[in-house]
């Protein structure tokens, strides 16, 4: 994969994520973690090679067929990417509204999920008035509200305190237990050691060793 006419940022990557798996993606800065995540959440397509998701070859899939696949993927961005002009409730409701869900259902599911992540009293709050941890929970709620098949998280515990980081990891484990495939990009080796799952290590745009599991 390359950006425009730049150098290849990922090459010789061969990997498979079984449905319901939980994987870490790690490596030094500039190793290609974010680029690999962008391939996973279909923000980019490979300049060469093959990417198959949900039994579809997304490398050559017509552009108009990609939105339907993207709706099966939840993304937790490192910087949250909440929409500042929308309330917590409206931010979380976005994937459902995009999918054309009835407004009554949207409201019910959104309130329920925000309550589950402990934000029942912050439904109408704008992102600017939320703490870092609250923003993180809104971002995660938005990523999972449409019950994605694949959840991709970029440094989800990077900007929260240790206690909240642990709670978020328990949340991801919970989601994984109900069948969601999870990929977490992280630098945090302590996190990897504490919650043991296969690790994909990237360096210089390629895997440095085969995925390992500490199970």
Among 17, 94, 111, 164, binds other proteins (CB under 8 A): 94
Query: What's the token pair of residue 164?
Result: 């909240």
Of 58-66, 120-128, 155-163, 202-210: span binding other proteins (CB under 8 A): 58-66
Q: Does 111 bind other proteins (CB under 8 A)?
A: no
Largest Cα–Cα distance in the chain?
Answer: 49
Our CB check for other proteins shows the closer of 70 and 147 to be 70
> Could you write out the DSSP letters of every residue in 93-136?
HHHHHHTT--HHHHHHHHHHHHHHTT-GGGTT--GGGS-HHHHH
Alpha-carbon distance of 131 to 136, in angstroms, equals 9
Our CB check for other proteins shows the closer of 37 and 119 to be 37
Binders of other proteins among 73-92, rule CB under 8 A? 73, 75, 81, 83-86, 90
Q: Does 50 bind other proteins (CB under 8 A)?
A: no
Q: Does 99 bind other proteins (CB under 8 A)?
A: yes
Our CB check for other proteins shows the closer of 50 and 210 to be 50
CB 156 within 8 A of CB 140: yes
Q: Does 41 bind other proteins (CB under 8 A)?
A: yes
> Could you write out the DSSP letters of every residue in 48-111?
SS--EETTEETTTS-GGGHHHHHTTEEEE-TT----TTS-HHHHHHHHHHHTT--HHHHHHHHH
Smallest distance, Å, CB 113 to other proteins?
16
Alpha-carbon distance of 40 to 143, in angstroms, equals 14
Q: Does 123 bind other proteins (CB under 8 A)?
A: no
Alpha-carbon distance of 122 to 124, in angstroms, equals 6
Smallest distance, Å, CB 156 to other proteins?
16
Our CB check for other proteins shows the closer of 97 and 214 to be 97
How many amino acids of this chain bind other proteins (CB under 8 A)? Answer: 26
Alpha-carbon distance of 152 to 26, in angstroms, equals 13
Q: Does 63 bind other proteins (CB under 8 A)?
A: yes
Smallest distance, Å, CB 162 to other proteins?
28
Rg (CA), the chain: 17
Our CB check for other proteins shows the closer of 83 and 120 to be 83
- What residues line the site for other proteins (CB under 8 A)? 41-45, 63-64, 66-71, 73, 75, 81, 83-86, 90, 94-95, 97-99
């Amino acid at each position: 994969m390359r950006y425009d006419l730049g150098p290849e940022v990922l090459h010789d990557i061969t990997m498979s994520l079984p449905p319901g798996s939980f994987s870490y993606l790690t490596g030094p800065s500039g190793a290609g973690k974010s680029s690999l995540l962008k391939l996973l959440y279909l923000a980019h397509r490979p300049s060469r090679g093959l990417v198959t998701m949900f039994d579809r070859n997304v490398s050559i899939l017509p552009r108009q067929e990609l939105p339907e696949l993207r709706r099966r993927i939840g993304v937790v961005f490192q910087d949250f990417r909440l929409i500042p002009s929308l309330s917590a409730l409206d931010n979380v409701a976005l994937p459902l509204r995009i999918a054309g869900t009835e407004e009554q259902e949207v409201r019910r599911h959104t309130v329920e999920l925000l309550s589950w992540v402990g934000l029942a009293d912050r439904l109408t709050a704008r992102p600017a008035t939320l703490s870092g941890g609250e923003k993180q929970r809104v971002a995660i709620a938005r990523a999972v509200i449409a019950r994605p098949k694949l959840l991709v998280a970029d440094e989800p515990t990077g900007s929260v305190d240790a206690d909240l980081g642990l709670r978020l990891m328990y949340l991801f484990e919970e989601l994984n237990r109900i069948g969601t495939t999870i990929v977490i990009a992280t630098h945090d080796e302590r996190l990897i050691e504490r919650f043991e799952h296969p690790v994909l290590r990237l360096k210089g745009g390629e895997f440095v060793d085969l995925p390992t599991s500490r199970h």
